[in-house]
Structure 1
Protein backbone atom coordinates (compact mmCIF):
# COMPACT_ATOMS: atom_id res chain seq x y z
CA UNK A 1 0.00 0.00 0.00
CA UNK A 2 1.46 3.34 -1.01
CA UNK A 3 1.06 6.47 1.08
CA UNK A 4 2.34 10.00 0.70
CA UNK A 5 3.43 11.99 3.72
CA UNK A 6 2.97 15.68 2.93
CA UNK A 7 4.84 18.20 5.09
CA UNK A 8 3.11 21.59 5.37
CA UNK A 9 5.18 24.38 6.91
CA UNK A 10 5.91 28.10 6.81
CA UNK A 11 9.65 28.56 7.30
CA UNK A 12 10.80 32.17 7.20
CA UNK A 13 12.91 32.58 5.23
CA UNK A 14 11.99 29.51 3.15
CA UNK A 15 14.55 26.77 3.63
CA UNK A 16 15.21 23.16 4.49
CA UNK A 17 15.24 21.41 6.79
CA UNK A 18 12.26 23.47 7.89
CA UNK A 19 13.27 23.05 11.54
CA UNK A 20 16.18 25.39 10.86
CA UNK A 21 13.76 28.17 9.88
CA UNK A 22 10.53 27.93 11.91
CA UNK A 23 10.20 29.75 15.23
CA UNK A 24 8.72 26.74 17.06
CA UNK A 25 11.77 24.61 16.27
CA UNK A 26 14.30 27.38 16.85
CA UNK A 27 12.85 27.91 20.34
CA UNK A 28 13.98 24.39 21.34
CA UNK A 29 17.47 23.88 22.80
CA UNK A 30 20.14 23.08 20.19
CA UNK A 31 20.82 19.69 21.80
CA UNK A 32 17.16 18.69 21.32
CA UNK A 33 17.19 19.88 17.71
CA UNK A 34 20.38 17.94 17.01
CA UNK A 35 19.02 14.78 18.65
CA UNK A 36 15.74 15.08 16.73
CA UNK A 37 17.59 15.55 13.44
CA UNK A 38 19.80 12.53 14.10
CA UNK A 39 16.78 10.37 15.01
CA UNK A 40 14.96 11.50 11.86
CA UNK A 41 17.98 10.72 9.67
CA UNK A 42 18.29 7.27 11.30
CA UNK A 43 14.59 6.60 10.65
CA UNK A 44 14.95 7.56 6.97
CA UNK A 45 18.00 5.29 6.66
CA UNK A 46 16.08 2.37 8.19
CA UNK A 47 13.06 2.99 5.92
CA UNK A 48 15.41 3.05 2.92
CA UNK A 49 17.01 -0.23 3.98
CA UNK A 50 13.61 -1.88 4.52
CA UNK A 51 12.36 -0.69 1.12
CA UNK A 52 9.43 1.20 2.66
CA UNK A 53 10.77 4.64 1.66
CA UNK A 54 10.33 5.05 -2.09
CA UNK A 55 11.38 8.68 -2.42
CA UNK A 56 10.80 12.22 -1.34
CA UNK A 57 11.75 15.80 -2.06
CA UNK A 58 11.98 19.13 -0.33
CA UNK A 59 10.14 21.77 -2.35
CA UNK A 60 11.28 25.26 -3.26
CA UNK A 61 9.84 28.54 -2.02
CA UNK A 62 6.11 28.76 -2.86
CA UNK A 63 6.65 32.30 -4.15
CA UNK A 64 8.55 30.73 -7.07
CA UNK A 65 5.61 28.47 -7.98
CA UNK A 66 3.21 28.93 -10.87
CA UNK A 67 -0.45 27.91 -10.74
CA UNK A 68 -2.33 26.68 -13.81
CA UNK A 69 -6.13 26.63 -13.82
CA UNK A 70 -8.36 25.31 -16.54
CA UNK A 71 -10.77 27.77 -18.09
CA UNK A 72 -13.16 27.34 -21.02
CA UNK A 73 -11.23 29.91 -23.06
CA UNK A 74 -7.78 28.48 -22.23
CA UNK A 75 -5.56 27.72 -19.30
CA UNK A 76 -4.83 30.63 -16.99
CA UNK A 77 -1.40 30.81 -15.34
CA UNK A 78 -0.67 32.89 -12.25
CA UNK A 79 2.38 33.34 -10.06
CA UNK A 80 2.60 31.69 -6.65
CA UNK A 81 2.22 31.21 -3.87
CA UNK A 82 -0.40 28.77 -4.96
CA UNK A 83 -2.60 28.91 -1.84
CA UNK A 84 -4.09 31.61 0.34
CA UNK A 85 -2.51 30.16 3.44
CA UNK A 86 0.36 30.73 5.83
CA UNK A 87 1.44 27.11 5.52
CA UNK A 88 2.53 25.66 2.19
CA UNK A 89 3.60 22.25 1.01
CA UNK A 90 7.27 22.05 1.96
CA UNK A 91 8.03 18.50 0.84
CA UNK A 92 6.85 14.93 0.63
CA UNK A 93 7.88 11.33 1.21
CA UNK A 94 6.48 8.32 -0.65
CA UNK A 95 6.09 5.14 1.37
CA UNK A 96 5.17 1.60 0.34
CA UNK A 97 4.06 -0.20 3.49
CA UNK A 98 2.07 -3.29 4.42
CA UNK A 99 -0.88 -1.49 6.01
CA UNK A 100 -2.47 1.83 6.92
CA UNK A 101 -1.53 1.13 10.53
CA UNK A 102 2.17 1.00 9.53
CA UNK A 103 1.79 4.25 7.56
CA UNK A 104 0.20 5.94 10.59
CA UNK A 105 2.92 4.58 12.86
CA UNK A 106 5.53 6.21 10.62
CA UNK A 107 3.67 9.46 9.87
CA UNK A 108 3.83 10.69 13.47
CA UNK A 109 7.64 10.68 13.20
CA UNK A 110 7.55 13.19 10.34
CA UNK A 111 5.79 15.91 12.37
CA UNK A 112 8.16 18.54 13.69
CA UNK A 113 7.72 21.83 15.50
CA UNK A 114 5.89 24.28 13.26
CA UNK A 115 4.93 21.61 10.72
CA UNK A 116 1.65 19.91 9.89
CA UNK A 117 1.90 16.43 8.42
CA UNK A 118 -0.75 14.96 6.14
CA UNK A 119 -0.91 11.22 5.46
CA UNK A 120 -2.71 10.42 2.23
CA UNK A 121 -3.06 7.10 0.43
CA UNK A 122 -1.83 7.05 -3.14
CA UNK A 123 -4.57 6.48 -5.68
CA UNK A 124 -4.86 2.88 -6.87
CA UNK A 125 -5.42 2.71 -10.62
CA UNK A 126 -7.67 -0.13 -11.66
CA UNK A 127 -6.61 -2.05 -14.75
Structure 2
Protein backbone atom coordinates (compact mmCIF):
# COMPACT_ATOMS: atom_id res chain seq x y z
CA UNK A 1 0.00 0.00 0.00
CA UNK A 2 1.43 3.30 -0.97
CA UNK A 3 0.90 6.45 1.00
CA UNK A 4 0.27 9.66 -0.99
CA UNK A 5 0.17 13.19 0.23
CA UNK A 6 -2.30 15.66 -1.13
CA UNK A 7 -1.16 17.42 -4.17
CA UNK A 8 0.50 20.77 -3.29
CA UNK A 9 -1.24 23.81 -4.57
CA UNK A 10 0.72 26.60 -6.10
CA UNK A 11 0.98 29.48 -3.66
CA UNK A 12 -1.16 32.47 -4.50
CA UNK A 13 0.23 35.95 -4.44
CA UNK A 14 -1.76 38.30 -2.22
CA UNK A 15 -4.01 40.73 -4.02
CA UNK A 16 -2.97 44.37 -3.81
CA UNK A 17 -6.38 45.69 -4.81
CA UNK A 18 -7.74 46.18 -1.24
CA UNK A 19 -4.57 47.99 -0.19
CA UNK A 20 -4.74 50.30 -3.22
CA UNK A 21 -8.39 51.04 -2.44
CA UNK A 22 -7.52 52.00 1.12
CA UNK A 23 -4.67 54.25 -0.05
CA UNK A 24 -6.96 56.07 -2.48
CA UNK A 25 -9.64 56.50 0.18
CA UNK A 26 -7.08 57.98 2.56
CA UNK A 27 -5.80 60.27 -0.19
CA UNK A 28 -9.29 61.56 -0.95
CA UNK A 29 -10.03 62.02 2.76
CA UNK A 30 -6.92 64.10 3.42
CA UNK A 31 -7.40 66.16 0.28
CA UNK A 32 -10.92 67.08 1.35
CA UNK A 33 -10.06 67.56 5.02
CA UNK A 34 -7.26 69.98 4.16
CA UNK A 35 -9.74 72.41 2.57
CA UNK A 36 -12.28 72.55 5.41
CA UNK A 37 -10.41 75.35 7.19
CA UNK A 38 -11.26 78.76 5.77
CA UNK A 39 -8.15 80.71 4.98
CA UNK A 40 -8.20 84.34 5.98
CA UNK A 41 -6.54 87.07 4.01
CA UNK A 42 -5.55 90.55 4.99
CA UNK A 43 -5.60 93.15 2.26
CA UNK A 44 -2.17 94.70 2.03
CA UNK A 45 -1.17 96.92 -0.81
CA UNK A 46 2.50 97.18 -1.58
CA UNK A 47 3.72 100.35 -3.18
CA UNK A 48 7.23 101.27 -4.14
CA UNK A 49 6.49 104.95 -4.50
CA UNK A 50 6.45 107.17 -1.48
CA UNK A 51 3.16 108.89 -0.84
CA UNK A 52 2.36 111.94 1.24
CA UNK A 53 2.20 111.55 4.98
CA UNK A 54 0.50 114.07 7.22
CA UNK A 55 -0.28 114.26 10.90
CA UNK A 56 1.49 112.99 13.99
CA UNK A 57 3.74 109.95 13.82
CA UNK A 58 1.94 106.61 13.90
CA UNK A 59 4.67 103.96 14.06
CA UNK A 60 3.68 100.63 15.58
CA UNK A 61 6.59 98.30 16.43
CA UNK A 62 5.65 94.63 16.69
CA UNK A 63 7.88 93.03 19.32
CA UNK A 64 8.35 89.38 20.31
CA UNK A 65 6.42 90.00 23.56
CA UNK A 66 4.11 92.89 22.64
CA UNK A 67 3.83 96.05 20.63
CA UNK A 68 4.73 99.73 20.93
CA UNK A 69 3.10 102.82 19.47
CA UNK A 70 5.65 105.61 18.98
CA UNK A 71 7.90 103.97 21.58
CA UNK A 72 5.21 103.43 24.25
CA UNK A 73 4.26 99.82 24.99
CA UNK A 74 0.65 98.74 25.23
CA UNK A 75 -1.83 95.98 24.56
CA UNK A 76 -3.54 95.71 21.20
CA UNK A 77 -6.74 97.39 22.43
CA UNK A 78 -4.71 100.29 23.91
CA UNK A 79 -2.77 100.70 20.66
CA UNK A 80 -6.02 100.86 18.68
CA UNK A 81 -7.52 103.41 21.10
CA UNK A 82 -4.42 105.62 20.97
CA UNK A 83 -4.36 105.39 17.17
CA UNK A 84 -7.96 106.64 17.10
CA UNK A 85 -6.71 109.78 18.88
CA UNK A 86 -3.79 110.20 16.45
CA UNK A 87 -5.80 109.90 13.24
CA UNK A 88 -8.33 112.22 11.64
CA UNK A 89 -9.71 109.75 9.10
CA UNK A 90 -9.72 105.94 8.85
CA UNK A 91 -7.55 106.09 5.72
CA UNK A 92 -4.68 107.90 7.48
CA UNK A 93 -1.40 106.03 7.14
CA UNK A 94 -0.33 103.72 9.96
CA UNK A 95 3.21 102.35 9.73
CA UNK A 96 3.83 98.83 11.05
CA UNK A 97 7.35 97.57 11.66
CA UNK A 98 8.27 94.07 12.76
CA UNK A 99 11.25 93.91 15.13
CA UNK A 100 13.69 90.99 14.96
CA UNK A 101 12.24 87.95 16.70
CA UNK A 102 8.61 89.05 16.41
CA UNK A 103 6.24 86.35 15.20
CA UNK A 104 4.19 86.73 12.08
CA UNK A 105 1.09 85.73 14.05
CA UNK A 106 1.52 88.72 16.35
CA UNK A 107 1.71 91.03 13.31
CA UNK A 108 -1.37 89.45 11.72
CA UNK A 109 -3.31 89.74 14.99
CA UNK A 110 -2.47 93.43 15.22
CA UNK A 111 -3.37 94.00 11.57
CA UNK A 112 -6.71 92.24 12.08
CA UNK A 113 -7.49 94.39 15.10
CA UNK A 114 -6.63 97.55 13.17
CA UNK A 115 -8.78 96.42 10.25
CA UNK A 116 -11.72 95.72 12.58
CA UNK A 117 -11.28 99.20 14.08
CA UNK A 118 -11.73 100.65 10.59
CA UNK A 119 -8.17 101.55 9.62
CA UNK A 120 -7.68 100.98 5.91
CA UNK A 121 -4.20 102.24 5.06
CA UNK A 122 -1.56 100.08 6.74
CA UNK A 123 2.04 100.26 5.57
CA UNK A 124 4.44 97.46 6.45
CA UNK A 125 8.10 98.47 6.59
CA UNK A 126 11.23 96.52 7.32
Q: TM-score range by the shorter chain?
A: under 0.3
TM-score, scaled to structure 2 = 0.25
Q: TM-score, normalised by structure 1?
A: 0.24
The higher relative CO (CA closer than 8 Å, separation ≥ 6) is in 1
